[in-house]
Structure 1
Amino acid sequence: MSAREAILSGIRRNRPAGDFPLPPIPDFAPLVGPDLVAEFADRLKRMGGRVAEAPEGGDPLGPVRERLASAGVVASAVPEVEGNRDLAQVAAPADLADVDVAVVRAVFGVAETGSVLFTQEELRVNAVAYLAQHLIVLLDPRDILANIQAAYRRPDFARAAYAVLHTGPSATADIEGVLIHGAQGVRSLTVVLLPRG
């Protein structure tokens, strides 16, 4: 028996009898107004990200086409954007170390925090959201929720083996308050509001 199995076996043997349901999640009043798209964009901007806005009736991906065209390696997990790094062929996360731009679709966004949720289904390789230099996220505006409590009630958390909320690009600050983006992860995070096909 491995150490892990011995520990888990000991926990199971010593677990108190009875059913112990999780406490109910309180329903907090949203800290955002009724325009969830505007609130989401504002919070995302505060965290160093941005919502790429296309002109009315224009190409929704227009604001990111230049970044995609200038990228050497594009890893796309969405049918709307063609990449040149096939995520299905990635054998190890280190294979993504040279990715300039990754394009993924978020399950949903959270207006209160400017966050987007990814699961293993959207990312295909979990590390792509961290190792790429720039992250472009497609988000259906109808999938923007008011707050974290609404997000936790979604079934995506319960059925996903891996789920992560991203809020802006990677950032760190030193003691003097100098903020640096991209220190440990993506240097930029751009959200494109694009309804699901």
Structure 2
Amino acid sequence: MQVAIIKYNAGNVRSVLYALERLGVEAVLTDDFETIQKADKVIFPGQGEASSAMKYLKQRNLDRLIKDLRQPFFGVCLGQQLLCEHTEENDTECLGIFPIKVKKFPAFDKVPHVGWNSLENMDSPLFKDLEEDPYTYYVHSYYAELSPYTIATTHYMHDFTALIHKDNFYAMQAHPEKSGKVGETILKNFLAL
């Protein structure tokens, strides 16, 4: 199986590579069109700032490439947010694959949302072999609003989208590569799609 991790100057790439290695999968970190197009699965990681990440994607035409991909695609953290329509982070237009807005948590509580929190209302093959309300690890100040594409929620101040799905695109706000057995199971289930 060929797995491509899209390189776009966002963080947490090494931890995603290590998580895949633990599953016996050797992935390639790349921004090469042909390598990404030929991959069986594509992972879009991220930890960083939305406008600079979108600028990098546009400079290399990766924004267009991503929209045309047909193989299973998995966005993580910032990678999930960039798949949405717009984020309040520096008022950034994103890829628009999901017609969803990304909003900032209100400042009256502890922001960013850091630590373990449970997945609820889970509805997807990604959750096969998981117990009810499993915990995953979060580090974020922005969240995707609830929508018909939401396949799991998490509560922090209010419910927000933990995972989304549309066609071949899946994405997760938490970091599966830092979420122990639960995150490993979600990655494994994605790789099995």
- Normalising by the residue count of structure 2, what TM-score does the alignment of the two structures yield? 0.30
Q: Which has the higher strand share?
A: 2
Query: Could you say which structure has the larger radius of gyration?
Result: 1
- Normalising by the residue count of structure 1, what TM-score does the alignment of the two structures yield? 0.30
